[in-house]
Structure 1
Amino acid sequence: MTGRSLWSEQVEERAPHDPLDGDDQADVVIVGAGLTGLWTAYYLLEADPSLDVLLVEAQVAGFGASGRNGGWCSALLPVSADELARRHGPDAAAAMRAAMRDTVVEVGGVAAAELIDCGFTFGGTVTVARNRPQLERVADAVAADARWGDESHLLDADGVAEHVRASGAVGGSFTPDCARVHPARLVRGLLDVVLARGARLVEGTRALRLSPRAVVTDHGTVRARWVVRATEAWSAHLPGSHRDVAPVYSHMIATEPLPPEVWAQIGLARGQTFTDARHLVVYGQRTTDDRLAFGGRGAPYHVRSAIRPAYDRVDAVAAHLEHELVDLFPVLDRAEITHHWGGPLGVPRDWHPSVGLDLETGIAWAGGYVGDGVALTNLAGRTLADLLTGADSPLVRLPWVDHRSPAWEPEPIRWAGITATRRATAWADRTEARTGHPSRMGGLLSQVLGH
């Protein structure tokens, strides 16, 4: 993990766990030891400490998006509440929104109760609008939040400056429903807790096939009553799941630790996370050691859902992120960029995350978080634990339970569509910045993407 991300460099190295040693059995086998798998193990063992829970990880725990993300524990969902209401009804949409707000609190509560030092800071999120079309979108989002019980506040330029002083800000919004976290420390702390409670972990063990009541790996077969797929972007490489999600890359950069006089010109004094209202997402946070960590989408999608180490660092993407960061905060024009990393996140065809259990096969799943997984993984873990133990809780009736997204198109149509969408999104942002008018392409993209 060393060098994988800023976050992974800041956790103490540990010896990897041994691979699976031949055939085995368990009550529950969880494929993937990221946050989805770890939260599932945590809540399963909380519900029934006698369960034999085995985590199977192809690399090391936290290798994927769990250890590389932007560190937002947010109530955000990739699919809007209005879209949830259209698909599932208004009561279901309201319940899902309430569950997401509660989940942010739940993660902080577990971190405190289990003494997980992950820098959890309930600072909220400020969204910056830097032109009129962006401000209109922010105002629409604030109005939508009010319809669904989400707290958000429309800000003028001075109101934005109370949180963050970004160049060209004409307004924005603020929501308290987000916390800054150090994701790798959250992973490590959660791993230590579940291992102490009796969960088992094998690393360097690749799942080749998920079958009814069994997982076939390159080191043996594990038979279990329940099988949980917690592989997010890597689901695209499992037989039978090739078109379930598209692995779309997101990249980040981080500055050197910045002195107080620089932070006085930027803000973020209370641990706020930040974004702006462009179509092509950017995101950032002030880290616990006073760096600015900044990321964004826009890296190429690779044909046939390819995932390779070489894609984790792309110089052109890093240069673009540095340019955008300095454009937001000119005071950083001479700050050293010390880290650049990236990795894939899982995007379902309809941008609708899901969790579920097939009682006939015993195979459960969760994923399709589209980059909003730090909180969603916790909700997934609690929901999976209730599904597997048969608990009749409100969580198992949320609208994402047993949702089935349509399959992605076959290649090369998939590559062409995702690439065209990425380029059109960037074009819409450039057009709005240049003209000061909403891009018709941006509105069309929202309809196509369904969020």
Structure 2
Amino acid sequence: MAQLSTEVYWHSTEPTEVGPPLDGDASCDVCIVGAGYTGLWAAHFLKQAEPGMSVRVVEAKFAGEGASGMNAGFVQMTAGKVLRRMLWYYGAEKAGGVYRAVARSILEIGRFCRQNGIDAQYENTGILQVATDTKQLARLELQIKRAQRAGVTSFRLLDREQAQERIGSPTVLGALKVSGALLNPYRLVRGLARVVQEQGVLLHEQTPAQTIEKVDGKWRITTPHGTITANEVIVATEAMQGAFPELYARQMPVWNYLLVTEPLTDEQLGRVPWPGREGVANSLSFSTAARLTADNRVLWAGGLWYMFGNRDTDPRHRRNDDAFDKLGASFREFFPQWRDVRFSHGNGGLISWSHSFIPQFGRTDSGMVYGHGYTGSGIAASHTGGKILRDLVLRRKTEFTELAFVTVNQPKFLPAPFGDKGGEFFIWRQRVGDRLPLLLPYKSALAPNRFFARRTGSPERATAGRSSD
């Protein structure tokens, strides 16, 4: 795909005026490292709670330059395969608490955009989690059971005919309609940066944090342009957390990729039924996801994770022709009607993978506050995380500091090279697992018509209500 532009598509939808760097030494109550969703939501909620608090944010390049400005724009709860781990690590009560908190964030993000005049192209469409083989149908069956264990019992289940009416791929055998929304991720993060500055937060772009250390009870954040002394520090650099020794083993950076097509013509759009314009994701371990943009491009994202040794985060990996070729092939398999559609943009971004696949928030032994580990589903969870970080900084016990994101054991990765080999083995195992045949006799796979029939009966043949994934 030599013709692909590696410019991030979303960056072309919003003019970027990069702010000035830090100008000499400074001090503040709270210094936040990283101007993505996590850091900016934390700044927003801190200023709401304590308007007189002095807050500074330092960012290596510009707000939204990293994962917050280049993801697929799915505002959703954690993926279905993560629910198994949530129940395993947390138990039903804790897992349900996380789901309810993040579900509120999905709606609150839309409200925040409306109240603050942010045109983030927010659409509360819901998400279709589809199955394209019998093994994925079995995963949908398990997901429904797990959601019920977590106390989330309302969903909308679609059989093959219903699902293909919602997303016209001939490969789709069924779907689960779950709650979620779509937005332009870059417009959201840039709008959020504007709002926090209006609240009085000082944002220093072009200011990378080189070291963070505690001296005489104060935090010192050194940058090329000066040193910030702060009472509290929040480190919110997601997959770049490994640059700071205390956080190195708490998450693993991995690469994932997306493609964006040229704008579709009306004739091309008409080939594939997609009346609700929902986000769509299959049920593979390394799932692929599709959505329409505001200008009717198709964004196709996901697939295999990539590691390049020694936890490499070099931006040169944003172009990966092997990943682009694999994504292009899976796109044409899912949408054979669009074999003539050309891709205009392709780029890769870093995912912060936590060992438990669940976001992590807390304090290190030295008192550094952190938040990371969204493992590919960070837009909604980072909003919840901003409230967690606020309450951790203010040292108050609330419903947010009692969420499992904070209170449950947070396993770490082994040091390199052992941790890297473990990560590579996991990727290989999941890739092979997606190719293996179904090993257990799930009803949904052996008798899919009966599986769907026993959950229907209304005139719409589906149960609608509060969705869950």
TM-score (norm 2): 0.87
Any conservation in 1 of the 2:125–2:276 contact (CA below 8 Å)?
Answer: yes
CA contact (8 A) 1:119 1:182 kept: yes
Give the aligned partner of residue 13 of structure 2.
10
CA 364–144 in structure 1, closer or farther in 2 if over 3 Å, else same: same
Once residues 386 and 424 of structure 1 are traced to their aligned partners in structure 2, the CA distance between those partners, rounded to angstroms, is: 38
Counterpart code for 2:156? H
Superimposed CA distance per residue, residues 407-449 of structure 1 (whole angstroms, 9 cap, x where no aligned partner):
21222222322223223322332334xxxx3499xxxxxxxxx
From 23, 34, 42, give the equivalent of 1:40. Answer: 42
Q: Is the 8 A contact 1:354 1:403 kept in 2?
A: no
Equivalent residue, structure 1, for 2:175: 172
> Contact between 1:122 and 1:271, CA under 8 Å: does it hold in 2?
no
- Cα offsets for 1:312-346 (capped at 9, x unmatched): 01111111101100100011111110000111110
Matched, 1:157 2:160: yes
Q: 1:77 to 1:367 in 2, by over 3 A?
A: farther
Question: Partner of 2:103 in structure 1?
Answer: 101
Q: Which residue of 1 aligns with 2:32?
A: 30
Question: Which segments of structure 1 move beyond 6 Å, counting only runs of 4 or more?
Answer: none
Of 231, 235, 238, which residue of structure 2 is paired with 1:232? 238
- Letter in structure 2 aligned against 1:341: N
Aligned AA for 2:158? Answer: L
The residue aligned with 1:401 is 406
Aligned partner of 2:451 in structure 1 is none
5, 20, 23: which one pairs with 1:21? 23
- SS at structure 2 position matched to 1:298: strand
Equivalent position to 1:264, from 249, 252, 270: 270
| Residue 78 of structure 1, CA deviation | 7.8
Contact 2:164–2:170 (8 Å) recurs in 1: no
Paired amino acid for 1:170: L
Structure 2: how far apart are the matches of 1:97 and 1:313? 34
Map of 1:197 onto structure 2: 199
The answer (yes or no) to whether the contact 1:302–1:415 under 8 Å persists in 2 is: no
For 1:103 and 1:136, the matched residues in 2 are separated by: 29
Distance 1:7 1:244 in 2: 29
Given the alignment of the two structures, is residue 242 of structure 1 paired with residue 244 of structure 2, yes or no?
no
* Residue number in structure 2 paired with 1:426: 431
- Structure 1: distance between partners of 2:301 and 2:361: 27
Distance 1:309 1:87, change over 3 A: closer
Aligned partner of 2:344 in structure 1 is: 338
AA partner of residue 143 (structure 1): K
**How far off its partner does 1:148 sit?**
2.3
- Offset at residue 84 of structure 1 (A): 3.3
Q: 1:291-322: CA deviations, max 9, x gaps?
A: 11011142420211111111001111111101
Residue 50 of structure 1 corresponds to: 52
* Helix, strand or coil at the partner of 2:284: coil
Task: Verify: 1:218 aligned to 2:215, yes or no.
Answer: no
The structural deviation recorded for 1:219 is 2.6
Contact (CA 8 Å) 2:279, 2:289: kept in 1 or not? yes
Q: Tell me which residue corresponds to 1:304.
A: 310
User: What is the alpha-carbon distance in structure 2 between the residues aligned to residue 134 and residue 380 of structure 1?
Assistant: 31
Check conservation: 1:273, 1:283, Cα contact below 8 A. Answer: yes
Q: Which residue identity lines up with residue 59 of structure 1 in the other structure?
A: K
Moved more, 417-426 or 84-93: 84-93
Deviations 1:140-160 (A, max 9, x none): 112222332434332210121
Identical-residue share of aligned pairs (%): 28
How far did residue 354 of structure 1 move?
1.2
Contact 2:83-2:143 within 8 A present in 1 as well: no
Q: Are 1:78 and 1:369, in contact at CA under 8 Å, matched by a contact in 2? A: no
After superposition, give the CA deviation of every residue in 1:58-95 in whole Å (9 maximum; x if it has no partner).
11111111011110110226874454344344322221
Structure 1, 213-222 or 253-262: larger mean CA deviation: 213-222
Q: Could you tell me which runs of 5 or more consecutive residues in structure 1 were left unpaired when the two chains were aligned.
A: 441-451
Checking the alignment, whether the CA contact within 8 Å between 2:6 and 2:346 is kept in structure 1 is no
Q: Is the 8 A contact 1:146 1:152 kept in 2?
A: no
Aligned partners of 1:391, 1:405: CA distance in 2, in Å? 21
Q: Is residue 2:376 matched to residue 1:374?
A: no
Q: CA deviation at 1:127?
A: 1.5
Distance 1:225 1:425, change over 3 A: same
| Equivalent position SS for 1:211 | strand
Which residue identity does 1:264 align to in structure 2?
G
Which deviates more, 373-382 or 361-370?
A: 361-370
Q: In structure 1, what is the equivalent of residue 459 of structure 2?
A: none
Correspondence 1:292 to 2:294: no
Cα displacement string for residues 8-29 of structure 1 (whole angstroms, at most 9, x for unaligned residues) = 1111131x22222222111110
CA separation in 1, counterparts of 2:87 and 2:329?
39
Aligned counterpart, 1:444? none
For the residue of structure 2 that corresponds to 1:394, the secondary structure is: coil
Partner of 1:147: 149
Q: Which of 304, 324, 340 in structure 2 is aligned with 1:318?
A: 324
CA shift digits 1:259-281 (9 cap, x unpaired) = 23332332333231011112222
Q: Structure 2 regions of 5+ residues with no counterpart?
A: 442-469
Assess, with a 3 A threshold, how the Cα gap between structure 1 residues 439 and 327 changes in structure 2: closer, same or farther. farther
Letter in 1 for 2:297: R
Residue identity in the other structure for 1:154: L
CA distance in 2, matches of 1:381, 1:247: 21
Quote the Cα distance in structure 2 between the aligned partners of 1:144 and 1:421. 23
Deviation at 1:109, TM superposition (A): 1.2
Alpha-carbon separation, structure 1, partners of 2:277 and 2:155: 17
Q: Is the 8 A contact 2:281 2:289 kept in 1?
A: yes
Distance 1:400 1:374 in 2: 15
SS in 1 for 2:361: strand
Confirm or deny that 1:328 pairs with 2:334.
yes
- Matched AA of 2:203: L
Q: Is the 8 A contact 1:145 1:152 kept in 2?
A: no
CA separation of 1:409 and 1:297: change in aligned 2, threshold 3 A: farther
Q: Call closer, same or farther: CA 1:340–1:19 in 2, change over 3 Å.
A: same
